[in-house]
Structure 1
Amino acid sequence: MRIRGLLLAASLMAAAGAQAQALPKTAEFYFEADALAVKPIVAVRETGDAATQKLVRAIQRNPRAVAERAQLAHIAMEAGRVELGRQLYTDALALVTPSDGQYRALLWNYGWDLYRSGDDEAALTQWLQLVSARNSTASWIPTTLAMVLWSLERKEEAVQWYAAAVRTEPTQWISTTRYAELLPEWKESERATLAEVHAAWVANPPTWP
């Protein structure tokens, strides 16, 4: 009986952990530029091993080097060293506060690296922190959340967020023809995911509000 009780408790804990993250209500429009967030974090211009070595030396000299940690984290996750990248991002975030100029870029970049490493739920967590930090209505939010929510099989919510993008800039998002122009940093697979959301929006566009 004790074993059965422990198994039941474990299953309940797992179910609680698997609950979908709550989303804020969509705003009517998303025009904010959010320049502090939407940018790569580049501390050194070198690439490959030269960049890695230079970043490691910089962190050794200055343990509070935030940008260097973030760039090294990105390099690590891009190379498949996901746990190392997570740790470096976590360390970098521990060195800043939400009022710090680097905070939003850290979360935005961390979200993308998590998404591209296959952890959609963790990516959503980072991006939602940016949305809720100051009730942001940044222009990147509707399409990015639509993409990640679709990947998480939260398809009705994904369509709601895509509808917010269309309300904001109808000439841009009413079709998929300008995706490569509008989303040049996205991978083709990511634009393809958004195109699936677009198709669902076309089939049944939600009303506002």
Structure 2
Amino acid sequence: MKKTQTWRVAMALAAWAFCASAWAQAVPKPKEFYFDEDRSTTRPVVVVSGQGDAVVDKLATLVQRDPRAVEARVQLGTLAISGGRRELGDQLYKAALESLSTSSQQYRQAAWNYGWALLRAGDPEQALHQWIALSGGRPATPNWLPPTLALTLWKLDRKEEAISWFGAAARTWPDQWGDPGNFATLLPDWSDDERAALAAVLAAYQANPPAWP
């Protein structure tokens, strides 16, 4: 009886794993180089400086007064997610993104910020969704994309893909991305843990660099 139950559990786990892998987001293969600067996308949205309830109150007032206050919604969404109010944060970001054209620069900035809020809230899968949506826009080869996707895929234990995406950064600027000592300068807004995770990707890449293409 116990043996039968064990097999049933094993089969259920196998089925779950198959479904999970089937639902894993498809990630495009990296291009050879990523030289394009994309500074207008990679800016944290800050409408009200500071911290604490006073900032939240000011942002909430801005949103209530003007439904088109997209940047206030984005910053408030980030604060909600980081403060453990994920549902509210998702609602604020969804409202902000739905009010923008997907081809607009403001949309790209909002989606980039949303991705980081999600990643730092422990949801790399949904962060990946936001950033993949930006991979086919303009600029075509943004330089932030390879290290960001490498980090996110590594956190999802999709290590082969993470190494492949890191390779795009290493091909583009081999003198910069070949040394983890450069990461603090290259990635000043990343946390120490995030840079350490990318250093692990670099080590795996150096141990067995994937061929291109």
TM-score, normalised via structure 2 length? 0.88
Q: Given that residues 176 and 195 in structure 1 are in contact (C-alpha distance below 8 angstroms), is that contact kept between their aligned partners in structure 2?
A: yes
The residue number in structure 1 matching 2:133 is: 129
Structure 1 residue corresponding to 2:52, chosen from 43, 48, 51: 48
Cα distance in 2, alignment partners of residues 77 and 18 from structure 1: 28
Cα deviation digits, residues 77-103 of structure 1 (max 9, x gap): 121212211111111111111233310
State the secondary structure of the residue aligned to 2:105: coil
Q: Deviation string for 1:59-112 (max 9, x for gaps)? A: 111112100100101111121212211111111111111233310011100000
Cα RMSD, aligned residues only: 1.9
Instruction: Give % identity.
Output: 51
Structure 2 residue aligned with 1:141: 145
| Equivalent residue number for residue 82 of structure 1 | 86
Query: In structure 2, what is the equivalent of residue 173 of structure 1?
Result: 177
2:41 equivalent in structure 1: 37
Kindly state the Cα deviation for residue 184 of structure 1 after the two structures are TM-superposed.
1.0
The answer as to 2:1 corresponding to 1:26 is: no
Q: 1:154 to 1:33 in 2, by over 3 A?
A: same
1:189–1:136 Cα change, 3 Å: same
Amino acid paired to 1:84: L
Q: 1:135 offset after TM fit, Å? A: 7.0
Return the alpha-carbon distance in structure 1 between the equivalents of residues 157 and 105 of structure 2.
33
Question: 1:68-79 residue pairs with structure 2 within 5 A?
Answer: 68-79=72-83
Corresponding residue number in structure 1 for 2:206 = 202
Does 2:188 match 1:184? yes
Aligned CA distance change for structure 1 residues 197 and 16 (closer, same or farther; 3 Å): closer
- The answer to whether the Cα contact below 8 Å between 1:130 and 1:136 also exists between their aligned partners in 2 is no
What letter is aligned with 1:66? V
TM-score (normalised: structure 1): 0.89
How far apart in 1 are the matches of 2:138 and 2:182? 30
How far off is 1:134 after superposition?
4.2
CA distance in 2, matches of 1:134, 1:165: 18
Deviation digits for residues 136-186 of structure 1 (CA, Å, limit 9, x no counterpart):
210001100000001111101100111110000011111211111111110
Gap change, CA 1:134 and 1:181, over 3 Å in 2: closer
CA shift at 1:132, angstroms?
2.1
The match for 2:9 is none
Matches of 1:17 and 1:60, distance apart in 2: 42
Contiguous gaps of at least 5 residues in structure 1:
1-7
Structure 1 segments (4+ residues) deviating >6 Å: none
Number of aligned residue pairs: give it.
199
- 1:156 maps onto 2:160 in alignment: yes
- 1:34 to partner: Cα distance: 1.1
Partner of 1:91: 95
Distance 2:28 2:206 in 1: 23
**Which residue does the alignment assign to 1:15?**
19
Deviation at 1:46, TM superposition (A): 3.9
SS at 1:178's partner residue? Answer: helix
Structure 2 residue ranges without an equivalent (≥5): 1-11
State the shift of 1:45 in Å. 2.4
